[in-house]
Amino acid sequence: MIFRRALQREFTHAAAAVFVALFAILISTVLIRLLGQAAGGRVPAEAVLALIGYGALAQLPTVLTLTLFIAILVSLSRSYRDSEMVVWFAAGVPLTSWIRPVLTFALPLVVVIGAGSLYLTPWAQQQSSEYRDRLDSRDDTQRVAPGVFRESSGAQRVFFVEIGAGEDGRVRNVFVSEETRDGGLVVIASAEGYMRSDEEGRRFVVLEKGRRYDGRPGTPEYRVMEFERYEVLVEQKPAVSQPSRTRALPTALLLAQGDKRSMGELLGRIGAPLSALLLALLAIPLSFVNPRAGRANGLLIALLTYLVYSNAISVFQGWVAQGRMSFGVGLFLPHLIVLAMLALLFYKRLAVSPFWRARSS
């Protein structure tokens, strides 16, 4: 009981620290990407927080898998470095005794990873896609931000508003540049502007006290028009939903469709909890550290094993989606290979004289 309690406590502390670090890295990465898109006008600033949330939820199974693997690996490696493993082995505790406490700690997380991979990740992907569709369907007036040049959805207009709408709903110092279909250029500058709607629900941009410049770049033919009031009809852009990506489809729909792409995506979702469970067990023999040798070698080999394993699942997923491999073979083959590797590593750590050394001698 002392042995199991000590392991559970150390696994929990290590997992909490690793999860906080990995989740912070994930949030920072998503935030940097979205801030770049917001600076370029592709994503409004008020949408960054929602998209960060959806992105974090979509990547949560991957973060939990890494957390589980690294927490067990770090905890057992510390026991080797501090010679605690020598004490346990001398007390008659074999390496296989670590399987039960590792499974006790890992199985609840594996269930969470499976639920996240099968249900949470596709839901977050779908919500993010729908949210981006709603952002793309906004009209040009909703893209305007004070002090920022913004391009219209059709890339034909550029807007600039120096001072945003106040309590009266008016903006100040408006600039609009528009390219016409015949290659001309229209520039409008006004002191004030606001929005209004008529009885039929049509929306108009009303500019007051300004000038309009019409002409063709490279020629002296320009026309200047001053106005006290200038109205422009805002074209309502219909909301067009993009076709749902396979990653955003619910798991039940993937099973109902049963095509190659759906089966490939389903393979990846089922493979997430299976790989998390096998990685947790694989961390037991991979955690071996020689106290007199370098500490980083074992950790690098373990991380390389994780990368190869996860990439192998992606490769098999692609082959199933392309029809080059059946679903059953693609689902079980990479995990069976890792299971064989797991048995071989346990044999290497438990056997006094492995068969390959016996033959060489």
pLDDT at position 300 over 90:
no
pLDDT band at 211 (very low <50, low <70, confident <90, very high): confident
Specify whether the CB–CB gap between 19 and 64 falls below 8 A: yes
Identify which of 221-230, 281-290, 324-333 has the greatest average pLDDT: 324-333
When pLDDT is cut at 50, 70 and 90, the band that residue 297 belongs to is: low
Q: What does the alpha-carbon distance between residue 178 and residue 247 come to, in Å, rounded to a whole number?
A: 38
The distance between the two most distant Cα atoms of the chain, rounded to a whole number of Å, is: 100
Residue 334 · residue 312 · CB < 8 Å: yes
6-10, 30-34, 154-158: range with lowest mean pLDDT? 154-158
DSSP string covering 200-247, please? TS-EEEEEEEEEEEEE-TTSS-EEEEEEEEEEEEEPPPP--PPPPPGG
How would you class 185 by CB atoms within 10 Å of its CB: exposed for 0-12, middle for 13-18, buried for 19 or more? Answer: middle
Which residue pairs, CB below 8 angstroms and at least 24 apart, start in 96-103? 96/346, 96/350, 97/3, 98/7, 98/284, 99/281, 99/284, 100/4, 101/3, 101/4, 101/7, 101/8, 101/11, 102/7, 102/11, 102/72, 102/280, 102/281, 102/283, 102/284, 103/280, 103/281
Q: What pLDDT sits at residue 361?
A: 45
The CA distance from 109 to 273, in Å, is 9
**Which of residues 247 and 19 earns the better pLDDT score?**
19
Average pLDDT score, the chain: 80
Q: Quick one: average pLDDT of 305-327?
A: 91
Tell me how far apart the alpha carbons of residues 60 and 272 are, in angstroms, rounded to a whole number.
11
pLDDT in tens, 73-92: 888 888 777 776 777 667 67
Q: Provide the pLDDT for residue 179.
A: 82
pLDDT of the residue at 121: 92
How far apart are the C-alpha atoms of 73 and 299, rounded to whole Å?
8
